Structure 1
Amino acid sequence: MRKHREILGSVFLELSLKRVAAGIAFVCIAGLAAAVPPASAQGTFTITSSDLRDGATVGNAQVYDQDDCKGGNVSPQLSWHHAPAGTKSFAVTIFDNDAPGPGWWHWAVAEIPPSVNALPSNASASGYLKKIGAIEARNDWGSVGYGGPCPPPGKPHRYIVTVFALNTANLRLGQARHALMFDHEINTTMLAKASLTVTYGR
Structure 2
Amino acid sequence: MTYFPLMLDLKDRPVLLLAGGPETKAKLQALLEAEARLTVLAEEDGFGLESLEREGRIRWIRRGYREGDLRGFFLVVSHPKDKAIHPLLREEAERERVFLVTVDDPEHASAIFPAVLRRGGLVVALSTSGAAPALAVRLKERLAQLFPESYGALVAYLRTLRPRMARIPRFEERKRLWYRIVDEALEALDLDPHGGLPRAMAKAEEALQEVVEWTR
Shared fold (TM-score, shorter chain, > 0.5): no
User: Which is bigger in relative contact order (C-alpha 8 A, separation at least 6)?
Assistant: 1
Q: Which has the larger radius of gyration?
A: 1
Query: For this structure pair, what is the TM-score category when the shorter chain's length is used for normalisation?
Result: under 0.3
Q: TM-score, normalised by structure 2?
A: 0.20
The structure where helix makes up a greater share of residues is: 2
Q: TM-score, normalised by structure 1?
A: 0.21
